[in-house]
């Protein structure tokens, strides 16, 4: 959990970290989520790794990720899916922001077996939170010079729940006449994404659709390893990889692609108003990828995580040297 302190690291970023290890936790019995929430409340900003929710966990256990988002009211998930020069992907020129309501919907965790063999799982949609995430999406579009917001829904089937969500988005859209507004059914959305993703700009949707759509978008731009994300509330901000795959098989093997978490850290620095540092790291990272000489295996290369990071560090040093030379010339 970062807090402003002193310059550390190769980019000389004036941020220090309070570190918490949550690996291996499955439920809240150990109190690890309480510790993490307390730390984030102290520092207001966090850089977070992926927390796993096992399929074979207790039926009444709740996702650690969901617990943290709800406890901190991190109501907006933003996953930034953007083409990186140098990566060989089926589609190019993609720049999509997937905005997902983060605290309700199918992730409310309200399930029970009413009679033997019959499970009821409740999807909660409220007008208040639908309106809030719609406003967040349009504000995001305005602040980031975006031109269009698309609301994703299944209101043709879930006429009350998704119907309310779509109604809220439509009402909010009227307050932003400079932003084009469209709506699209979620199944058509998935087809359109793989056929013509360039038509999308900002997308806003309920919780489960956002989880699915953000992973589709991640696949379009290079996979889970390259996509940054953030979870934002009125008071706190948590930055983490956008496609949250645990990739346990890569743990300790020096094979994981750190691009997604590095770009999440770049977004965190921009949030902290440290734009120059964020820009330097982003430029160095994208230079390494564009050169296509040192890439991790998921990007078609053979480099390990450490080698990839050291290549970025070298680029950062080259940037610093060039900046000094430029100042000297002036």
Q: Give the Å distances, CA to CA, from 169 to 175, 197, 207, 232, 260.
A: 10, 21, 15, 19, 29
pLDDT of residue 50: 78
Task: Kindly report, residue by residue over 12-27, the tens digit of the pLDDT.
Answer: 888 888 888 876 544 4
Q: Residue 96: helix, strand or coil by DSSP?
A: strand
| Rounded distance between C-alpha atoms, residue 295 and residue 55, angstroms | 32
Q: Which of 216, 247, 181, 232 is nearest to 81 (CA)?
A: 216
Domain boundaries of the chain, sorted by first residue: 74-222
The band of 321, judged by pLDDT with boundaries at 50, 70 and 90, is low
Least confident of 57-61, 141-145, 183-187, 209-213: 57-61
pLDDT of residue 12: 83
Neighbouring C-beta atoms of residue 75, cutoff 10 Å: 20
- According to CATH, what is the number of the domain 74-222? 3.40.718.10
- Residues in Cβ contact with 85 at an 8 Å cutoff, skipping those fewer than 6 apart: 286, 289, 290
Q: Give the Å distances, CA to CA, from 115 to 49, 106, 109, 174.
A: 38, 21, 18, 45
| Rounded distance between C-alpha atoms, residue 231 and residue 241, angstroms | 10
With a pLDDT cut of 90, the percent of the chain lying above it is: 69
pLDDT of residue 6: 43
Mean pLDDT of 195-224: 96
Mean pLDDT of 108-135: 93
The band of 109, judged by pLDDT with boundaries at 50, 70 and 90, is confident
Q: Which of 251, 190, 261, 260 is nearest to 222 (CA)?
A: 260
Residue 324 confidence (pLDDT) above 60: no
Q: Residue 271: helix, strand or coil by DSSP?
A: helix
Neighbouring C-beta atoms of residue 143, cutoff 10 Å: 8
Please provide the average confidence, as pLDDT, over all residues in the chain.
88
With a pLDDT cut of 70, the percent of the chain lying above it is: 85
pLDDT of residue 108: 79
pLDDT of residue 186: 98
Task: Kindly report, residue by residue over 229-285, the tens digit of the pLDDT.
Answer: 999 999 999 999 988 666 666 666 788 899 999 999 999 999 999 999 999 999 999
Q: Give the Å distances, CA to CA, from 31 to 70, 170, 189, 237.
A: 16, 41, 39, 21
The band of 70, judged by pLDDT with boundaries at 50, 70 and 90, is confident
């Amino acid at each position: 959990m970062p807090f402003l302190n002193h310059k550390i690291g190769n980019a000389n970023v004036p941020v220090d970290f309070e570190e918490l290890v949550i690996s291996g936790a499955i439920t809240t019995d150990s109190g690890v989520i309480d510790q993490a929430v307390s730390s984030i409340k102290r520092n207001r900003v966090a850089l977070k790794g992926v927390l796993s929710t096992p399929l074979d966990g207790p039926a009444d256990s709740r996702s650690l990720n969901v617990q943290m988002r709800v406890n901190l009211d991190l109501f907006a998930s933003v996953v930034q899916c953007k083409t990186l020069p140098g990566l060989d992907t089926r589609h190019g020129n993609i720049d999509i922001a997937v905005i997902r309501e983060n605290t309700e919907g199918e992730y409310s965790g309200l399930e029970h077996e009413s009679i033997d063999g019959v499970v009821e799982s409740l999807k909660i949609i409220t007008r208040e939170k639908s309106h809030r995430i719609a406003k967040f999406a349009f504000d995001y579009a305005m602040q980031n010079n975006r031109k269009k917001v698309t609301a994703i829904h299944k209101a043709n089937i879930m006429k009350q729940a998704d119907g309310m969500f779509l109604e809220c988005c439509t009402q909010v859209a009227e307050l932003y006449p400079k932003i084009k507004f469209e709506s699209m059914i979620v199944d058509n959305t998935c087809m359109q994404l793989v056929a013509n993703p360039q038509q999308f700009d900002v997308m806003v949707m309920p919780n489960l659709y956002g989880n699915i759509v953000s992973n589709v978008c991640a696949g379009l731009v290079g996979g889970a390893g390259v996509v940054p994300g953030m979870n934002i509330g009125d008071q706190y901000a948590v930055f983490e990889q956008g496609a949250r795959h645990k990739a346990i098989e890569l743990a300790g093997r020096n094979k994981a692609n750190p691009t997604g978490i590095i770009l999440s850290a770049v977004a965190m620095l921009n949030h902290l108003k440290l734009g120059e540092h964020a820009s330097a790291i982003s430029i160095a990272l994208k230079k390494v990828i564009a050169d296509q000489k040192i890439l991790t295996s998921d990007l078609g290369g053979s480099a390990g995580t450490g080698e990839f990071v050291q290549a970025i560090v070298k680029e950062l040093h080259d940037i610093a040297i060039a900046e000094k030379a430029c100042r000297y010339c002036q």
